[in-house]
Each structure stands twice: as C-alpha cells, then as structure tokens.
Amino acid sequence: MILRCGNRNLNLKYPQVMGILNVTPDSFSDGGRFSDLGQALYHAEQMFTQGAAIIDIGGESTRPGAKTISVEQELDRVIPVVEAIARRLDVLISVDTSSAQVIISASKAGAHIINDVRSLTREGALAAAASIELPICLMHMNGEPQSMQDNPQYLLPIEQDVLQQLTASVARCEQAGIERQRLIIDPGFGFGKNDQHNYQLLNRLEALQSLKLPLLTGLSRKRMIGSATGQSGAANRVIGSVSAAVICVLKGARIIRTHDVKETVEAMQVVSATFREGND
Ligand code: 7PJ
C-alpha cells in the first residue's frame, strides 16, 4: 500500500497522478515545447501545483519510428532537469529511461523512481537498477519501438501475454537482486498493440492484480483514445484519456501517467472520495 521511493513514501491506497515532462525535441503530443530547462521547470511546477504526485521526465522518445539518441544526449537533456526539480519542488521525480548510465546518474541527481519501457533489457540496465535503491517500473512491450506498431500479433489472449512477460521480467529482476517490493508493473498501452489489443487489455486489466504489485498505466492522448472518440488531434483526447484512467483505477491501477494533470487529478479525487467510503 505504501511504496518507498528513496527518502519518500507514496501512498498507493489511493490513485496518484504522474505528470509527463518530455524533454525530447520530438515527443508527439507537446512537440518539444519543453526542451529547454526553464520551460521544463515551469511545466513541472505547473503540474505539481495541479496535484501531480510524480513528475516523469523522459529524454528519449519511444514513439513509433522515433530516432534513438546517444547516452550523452540523454544525460544532457535529463539530468539538469532532475537536479533543478529536486532542488525546487517537493514532488517525486521519475525518470523514463532504458540506459544504465542514466539510471545511475538520475539516482544520484535526486530521482525517486526509474521508469523503463524496455524493462531493464538494455546492456547494463539490470545491474544498474540493482545497484540503486529506487523503485523500478517494468512495462510490457511487444517488439521494439521502431517497429512495434507494424501489425502486432499475439498467440495468447493479450492479458495472458502481458501477465507472462511481466512475470518473467519480475523474476529476472529478483534474480538480479532487485527486491520485489521495489517493482511496479505496467501493461504498456500502445506498445506493440493495435486498438483491439489495447481495449481487450483495458477490459481485462484486473488480471494483472494477480502479481500483487503496484500497477501503473499510461493511456494519455494515445491513438486508442482517438480511435474510440474520433478525435485525431492529441490535445482533443483529454476527456477520453481521463475516462480510460478512471476505468484503469477501478480495475486496480494506482499510478496514472498523464499529460493532463489538472483534469486527471480531479477525476482521481472523485475516485478517492468513493474509495474512502469503502470497507477495505
Ligand atoms: C508509457 C511510458 C506508458 C510507462 C510512454 C506516450 C508514449 N512509460 N512512456 N507507460 N508511454 N511506464 O506517452 O504516449 O504507457 S511514451
């Protein structure tokens, strides 16, 4: 129920909102507007004021077809932002990275959570994660970002594939010395999944509760939202995204990753008010 994040605690009895801070020049939904340090800090402060418990900083775009960047470029983009936020805001800092060097440097710079869409499969990432003491988010992905949306296929029902892959990732982490209580799981909406896969997964999301680990979901402004609402522009997908976030939380998710913090926090306040009157 309480996740230890470095020197801080995160209460997962109630849903918590993770605001997305992209420091990439090509992230699809905010188009690199926050690539400069001042802008990044301003956006982080705004999300904090709106009620984000966590700010998720990403320097490498994982959108389909995005260019890979060097570790040096990623460090240059991400670490100054981590340091600046750690100094100024009383918020948890998550770093969206797959690189061993960034994991280590982010931890030293004041990060509280590591969010790796590749689940520590890049060279050195597993050992890097074992050498620090922060929670790690492991995500399901089918394929690699470059090609994952080229006709994704599953042999098993999708939630079973997701559960199997996450179970294997968790076991691999435990074998490497990463304590189970440091792990967070994420089904990876949109990562090697077509619209039908994504909605089947959302419908059966409670299947992931069998791992008994904190569940994070990110559907914010994704294509699956547009495909249900007909909204092609990312900024017009807020209501659809918030609706999906509410479904996730009712099916067990406790961390919601979003671009739209104010709207998502309000929805989560209604969910929390409801949970508070429960018996558990
Ligand atoms: C996710 C993420 C997600 C986690 C991105 C986007 C694409 N990390 N990073 N879960 N998505 N843990 O925001 O549309 O779903 S990047």
What percent of the chain stands above pLDDT 70? 96
Q: How close is the Cα of 280 to the center of ligand 1, in Å?
A: 30
Contact 245, 16 (CB under 8 A): no
The pLDDT assigned to 44 comes to: 98
Give the atom of ligand 1 at the shortest distance from the alpha carbon of 216: 12
Quick one: pLDDT band at residue 144, thresholds 50, 70, 90?
A: confident
CA pseudo-torsion sign 114, 268, 1, 174: negative
Contact 52, 46 (CB under 8 A): no
Q: CA–CA distance from 116 to each of 124, 129, 155 (Å)?
A: 13, 10, 25
- Give residue-wise pLDDT tens across range 176-216: 999 999 999 999 999 999 999 999 999 999 999 999 999 99
Q: Give, using CA atoms, the residue closest to atom 14 of ligand 1.
A: 222
Q: How close is the Cα of 162 to the center of ligand 1, in Å?
A: 15
> In this structure, how many other beta carbons lie within 10 angstroms of the beta carbon of residue 43?
21
The pLDDT assigned to 26 comes to: 56
Quick one: pLDDT band at residue 64, thresholds 50, 70, 90?
A: confident
222 is catalytic: yes
The one catalytic residue in 182, 193, 254, 257 is: 257
* Residues with Cβ within 8 Å of residue 238, at least 6 apart in sequence: 221, 260, 263
Does the pLDDT of residue 24 top 90, yes or no? Answer: no
Quick one: pLDDT band at residue 33, thresholds 50, 70, 90?
A: low
The per-residue pLDDT of the chain, averaged, comes to 94
Q: How close is the Cα of 184 to the center of ligand 1, in Å?
A: 14
257 is catalytic: yes
256 or 144: which carries more pLDDT confidence?
256
Q: Give, using CA atoms, the residue closest to atom 9 of ligand 1.
A: 117
Substitution site in 115, 184, 202 for ligand 1 pocket (most atoms within 8 Å of beta carbon) = 115
Pairing of strands 2-5, 8-11: antiparallel
The one catalytic residue in 221, 222, 237, 254 is: 222
> Which residues does ligand 1 sit against, CB inside 6 Å?
20, 62-63, 96, 115, 117, 137, 139, 186, 188-189, 216, 218, 222, 257
> In this structure, how many other beta carbons lie within 10 angstroms of the beta carbon of residue 266?
14
Does the pLDDT of residue 12 top 70, yes or no? Answer: yes
Q: How far apart are CA 7 and CA 153, in angstroms?
A: 42
Q: How close is the Cα of 129 to the center of ligand 1, in Å?
A: 19
User: How many residues does this entry show for the chain?
Assistant: 280
Q: How close is the Cα of 219 to the center of ligand 1, in Å?
A: 8
With vertex at residue 92, the alpha carbon angle to CA 253 and CA 211, rounded to the nearest 5 degrees, is 30
Substitution site in 141, 186, 215 for ligand 1 pocket (most atoms within 8 Å of beta carbon) = 186
Give the atom of ligand 1 at the shortest distance from the alpha carbon of 137: 12
Contact 32, 25 (CB under 8 A): yes
DSSP symbols for the chain:
-EEEETTEEEETTS-EEEEEEE-STT-TTTTTTT-SHHHHHHHHHHHHHTT-SEEEEE-S--STTPPP--HHHHHHHHHHHHHHHHHH--SEEEEE---HHHHHHHHHHT--EEEETTTT-STTHHHHHHHS-S-EEEE--SS-TTTTTSS---SS-HHHHHHHHHHHHHHHHHHTT--GGGEEEE--TTSS--HHHHHHHHHTGGGGGGG-S-BEEE-TT-HHHHHHH---SGGGGHHHHHHHHHHHHHTT--EEEES-HHHHHHHHHHHHHHHHTS--
Give the atom of ligand 1 at the shortest distance from the alpha carbon of 259: 13
């700010």: which residue's tokens? 55
Tokens of 191: 């990562």
Q: How close is the Cα of 277 to the center of ligand 1, in Å?
A: 31
């801080």: which residue's tokens? 8
> Whose CA is closest to 207, among 257, 252, 244, 245?
252
